Structure 1
Amino acid sequence: MAKNAIRSILIVGGGTAGWMTANLLATRLRRLPIEITLVESPDIRTVGVGEATVPAIRDYFKAIGVTEFEVMRATQGTVKLGIEFQDWARPGERFFHPFGRYGVDAFAVPFHQFWLKRRMAGDETPLSAYCLATEAASRGLVLLPPDQPANDLGVFDWAIHFDAGLFARFLSRRARDDLGVRHVEGTIAGVNRDGETGRIASVTLEGGAELAADLFVDCSGFRSLLLGQALDVPYEDWTHLLPCDRAVAVPCTHGEELAPFTRSTALSAGWQWRIPLQHRVGNGYVYSSRHISDDEATATLLSRLEGETLAEPNMLRFRTGHRQRLWEKNCVAVGLAAGFLEPLESTSITLIQSAVERLLDHFPDRDFDPSLADEFNRITRLEYARIRDFLLLHYWANRREGEAMWDECRALELPETLAARIRAFTGGGKLPRFEWDSFQSPSWLSMYAGFDIWPPRHDPLADQLTVEELGASFAKMREAIGRAAALAVPHARFIAENCAAPAAPHDHGRVPAHSA
């Protein structure tokens, strides 16, 4: 190794962020003599958000050498084909955001432009009828995408739901037992900085022990013990754009069939999540404290549970946004220590994953060339802003008239980045792609379709096919989707046959395989 090479990394904090970081760093750096230590306090409870994921999580599993089914068995995991949105557009209406494409493009013209042409000719078939993932999810069925789909109708993806606590425990065992990560239990009493460089030199634990390192990764949660407190990096607050600032969560037993999707239901002052696991259902109410009290929010959530509560409600306060710099000196923040975007589109774990991957892409030596941190920070700020805009579209596009929070959201002055996207679509059905977009064109199209936002015209290039030709082609697409969906199996059966978790004593919340 070069004389200035990094030789030690200290990860401050456990939970999902800490142990995801430890596993990926230890896997990717295993051929280098770098000692990786994780320190966590047994007295500090982790937040435990992020029980739903997006398909990128499967890339993470592959990177650390585990399989999806291995993780699902260890974490009571289930399949996620997308998110169902209830009552967002208007009370009583629902739509689905799938991990999949719509229809088949032709002549380099996106499918939705042809669909718009048929719609303007009087065809009332919804766009969702041309997505295999949506069709399967709506029927409670699961199938995995083929390795080589015959055409774009077979192009879709999937993610998983899991118990975040069990996931952290799974990663902890693997990091310690298989990857050689050193684990220290202790509460940090102080952070010590080098008087000359200002970098972090070590942390002191209660009892006096000191842990030194070359590179520090702050996974200390909302406290942001290193980046926020010790290095005093300011926080960029986006609460004026995304109104929800609190959440209450509680698990319950199953009362419905095991759906292969997350459900988000709009309520008067926010929205409720439903995340089905093998052994229980995760529920939460994400809300604006300006529009409902904590007690009212808790009572509302408890009144809407489908089964028996399995724990006391857990309260969470947050500020949407991120630290102005995510890498400062020799410290990189990951997870909640870096920032927070509410779990509406399950991006919490994605942001952990991408941060660690980005650190590896810009891995420093002990000189810590500022250009590495500058580029890391530039990309990460873009990533947060792109996700923020996608989440903001959900709120701004609502039609829940007469409710204070929702009325305020429709009146928001949008960031120009989001306003430009909306203009491009409402003007000509265009779906521009920006640098470091986390959500691609089909996701944006799902939102516009769900909120019934359409341009007044179709792309002139869609006139390469007549309305009649499109009608015949569209009918074949729907038939193909029906044939593919017929090969799917009920979600609970899929779990039982592939990745059922070992039964635990008194596991009365589990859905049996025959329930679906």
Structure 2
Amino acid sequence: MNGDPIRKIVIVGGGTAGWMAAAAISKIMGNFPRLTITLVESEAIGTVGVGEATIPQIAAFNKLLELDEREFVRETCATYKLGIEFVDWLRPNHSYVHPFGSYGLDMLGIEFHHFWLRARTLGQDIPLDDFSIAVAAGKAGKFFWPRPDQPNSPLSRLSYAFQFDAGRYARYLRKIAETCGVLRVEGKVTQVLQNSENGHVTAVKLEDGQSVEGELFIDCSGFRSLLLGQTLGIGFTDWTKWLPCDRAVAIPCELGGKREPLTRSTARPAGWQWRIPLQHRIGNGHVYSSAHMEPDEATEMLLANLDGTPLAEPNHLRFTAGHRDKAWDRNVVALGLAGGFLEPLESTAIHLVQSGIARLMSLFPTTAFAQKEIDRYNRETASDYADIRDFLLLHYMASERNDSEFWRYCRALDPPDALKEKLEMFRSSGRVIREHNELFTETSWLSVMVGQGIDPQGYHPVAGMLDEEETRRRVSHIRDVIQTTVGQMPTQEEFLAQNGAAIPASERLNA
């Protein structure tokens, strides 16, 4: 083996990214001989803490940590999430849902949506949303666990994620990590020490004079990117051209309005507003372009569109869409905001941390820090960011909105080649193509392309093998079975209470 085993891992920064890394690495490598994992954070430095929504891949992370789902939901005041509702994105007074799971039932070896497209040509104009149990259950405020043991039930094709309090989540993971032997050190980093020969980070020095030495450093310092950006000087790939939103204002409010297991994104004149209902409050935020709206106007618009009384002062954030040119340089790996940022439109921030941890575990180095592994890590990370960028861009450029300078700018954008090919293929034949093992599934691409008004000119020829009456009958039957199944599901409130996952009523604010 080239190089000695890593014995000292130092994570700089806490928050969601830091404690996810600490919990996962200690769970996987906790029994590695003489390995120490130290996390350095300062209570004086706040975390962004607004990323409260996830995507279904979080289930794999929870499984890795062997979490008890009921406890996890209670401890983080979580709710379930069956998808994201997009309001006013195509045009005012229009909405659709990007669901988790799938649509309908594949037939004759091809995807269901080709039969749906054919049925439309036969005069059966049923919204695509009607063929997703995630959408139907989400809009009805219902939830139940997937039932893979019942392959004939729509529940077998359901996926879900969570919406939770990011601060509580970090504290929950901290308990897990410390149980697995992670040492937390309180202190603000004032100096980063480097090897004079190769530039590797050797230690971080704290305000009280203490030095924390390490061999592998994980930078979870947020937008500051203290190790990777500031110390090692790794540049930043700026995607403002394609994703012009560069500001956000966030504020929680008391419970009110609908309690659906859905995240909601509502288009605004210079961006969009998120709404994330938790068990004890609602998370809200307004993401906008500073080139098209002033902070005061953005804040006023957010405050005017809350479902309850604000619970804190507005939290203003600045960011640039993009990523560090390298996520791993020398002996430093960046996770979370230290490595890049893509707006939370599709709830991908926590997933990028999760995938970064998984990739690091797969390519875990020795003290030799082989360049081949580092290059592969960086290549795959950059690919992840580009795939998500293209999916986010689709929401903006495919809009019909022409009511503000911001939306006119977005509609005129020239998409990257990979997105352009996806759009051309779908318009031509209704086919959804995915490259390599990209994050978003065929269901995801289909939901947003259809939701944003992209109309295919054809469908798979096999969909024409059923006669017209049989096509209409099968399509209608699938919709009816979904509606019947949803009618039998408990509400999310009932499900939480029945399964011991609900928080005490006294902790809910105006529930």
Query: TM-score normalised by the shorter chain: which range applies?
Result: over 0.9
Q: What residue identity is the alignment partner of 2:348?
A: T
Deviations along 1:251-301, one digit per CA (max 9) or x if unpaired, are 111121311110000011110000001110001000001111001100110
* Kept after mapping to 2: 8 A contact 1:101/1:152: no
1:3 Cα deviation after fit: 6.8
- Percent of aligned positions that are identical: 47
Q: Matched residues in 2 for 1:495 and 1:253: separation?
A: 19
Q: Is the 8 A contact 1:89 1:397 kept in 2?
A: yes
Equivalent position of 2:169 in the other structure: 167
**Paired positions, count:** 509
Quote the offset at 1:163 in angstroms: 0.3
Mapped to 2, the partners of 1:30 and 1:74 lie a distance apart of 24
Offset of residue 496 of structure 1? 2.1
- For 1:28, the equivalent position in structure 2 comes to 28
| TM-superposed deviation, 1:471 | 1.1
Which string of whole-angstrom CA distances, capped at 9 and with x for unpartnered residues, describes residues 16-47 of structure 1? 00000000000000220210000001110000
Task: Give the whole-Å Cα distance in 2 for the aligned partners of 1:223 and 1:114.
Answer: 50
For the residue of structure 2 that corresponds to 1:232, the secondary structure is: coil
Contact kept in structure 2, 1:253 and 1:310, CA below 8 Å: yes
Per the alignment, residue 441 of structure 2 pairs with: 440
How do 1:285-324 and structure 2 match up within 5 A? Answer: 285-324=286-325
Task: Give yes or no for contact 1:190–1:205 (8 Å, CA) kept in 2.
Answer: yes
Aligned to 2:417: 416
Instruction: Return the alpha-carbon distance in structure 1 between the equivalents of residues 232 and 161 of structure 2.
Output: 36
Is the aligned partner of 1:480 residue 2:481?
yes
Structure 2 Cα separation of the partners of residues 390 and 306 of structure 1: 29
Aligned to 1:199: 200
Contact 1:320 1:341 in 2 (8 A): yes
State the shift of 1:475 in Å: 2.2
Q: Give the conservation status (yes or no) of the 8 Å contact 1:203–1:210.
A: yes
- Give the direction of change, closer, same or farther, for the CA distance of 1:90–1:499 in structure 2 (3 Å limit): farther
Q: Which moved more, 1:327-336 or 1:124-133?
A: 124-133
Equivalent positions of 1:49-198 (< 5 A) are 49-151=50-152, 153=154, 154-176=156-178, 178-198=179-199
Q: Is the 8 A contact 1:340 1:348 kept in 2?
A: yes
Letter aligned with residue 123 of structure 2: G
2:407 is aligned to: 406
The answer on whether the counterparts of 1:89 and 1:451 sit within 8 Å (CA) in structure 2 is: yes
**How far has the Cα of 1:120 moved from its partner?**
1.1
TM-score (norm. length: structure 2): 0.97
SS at match of 2:105: coil
1:405 is paired with a residue whose SS is: helix
Using the TM superposition, give the Cα deviation of residue 501 of structure 1 relative to its aligned residue in structure 2, in angstroms. 4.8
The alignment yields a C-alpha RMSD, in angstroms, of: 1.4
CA distance in 2, matches of 1:307, 1:3: 57
Q: In the TM superposition, what is the alpha-carbon distance from 1:162 to its structure 2 partner? A: 0.3
Give, as a single letter, the amino acid of the residue that structure 2 aligns with 1:166.
Answer: R
Q: Secondary structure at the match of 1:36?
A: strand
User: Which amino acid is the alignment partner of residue 163 of structure 1?
Assistant: D
Letter of the aligned partner of 1:137 in structure 2?
Answer: G
| 1:472 to 1:26, Cα distance in 2 relative to 1, 3 A | same
Query: Equivalent residue of 1:473, what SS?
Result: helix
Aligned to 2:334: 333
Scaled by the length of structure 1, what TM-score is found? 0.96
Which region of structure 1 is more displaced relative to structure 2, 80-89 or 254-263? 254-263
2: CA distance between counterparts of 1:508 and 1:58?
A: 26
Shift of 1:172: 1.0
Change (3 A) 1:508 1:103: closer
Partner Cα distance (1:416, 1:167) in 2: 38
Q: Which residue of 1 aligns with 2:251?
A: 250
Counterpart amino acid of residue 100 in structure 2? F
Maintained 8 Å contact 1:321/1:341 = yes
Match of 2:217 in 1: 216
CA deviation after TM superposition for structure 1 residue 69, in Å? 1.9
* Residues 36-71 of structure 1, C-alpha deviations (whole Å, 9 max, x = no match): 000001110000032000011111011011122221
Moved more, 207-216 or 490-499: 490-499
Return 452-461 or 308-317, whichever deviates more.
452-461
User: Are 1:458 and 2:459 matched, yes or no?
Assistant: yes
Q: Contact conserved, 2:250 with 2:316, CA < 8 A, in 1? A: yes
- Contact 1:379–1:436 at 8 Å: present in 2 too? no
The CA distance in 1 between the partners of 2:3 and 2:441, in whole Å, is 43
- Aligned-partner Cα distance in 1 for 2:289–2:455: 29
SS of residue matched to 2:297: helix
The unaligned stretches of length 5 or more in structure 1 are 512-516
Deviation string 1:302-356 (CA, Å, 9 cap, x unpaired) is 0111111111111110001000000000000000000001000000000000000
Q: Aligned with 2:45: secondary structure?
A: coil
3-state SS of paired residue (2:10): strand
Q: Tell me the distance in 2 between the aligned counterparts of 1:481 and 1:353.
A: 32
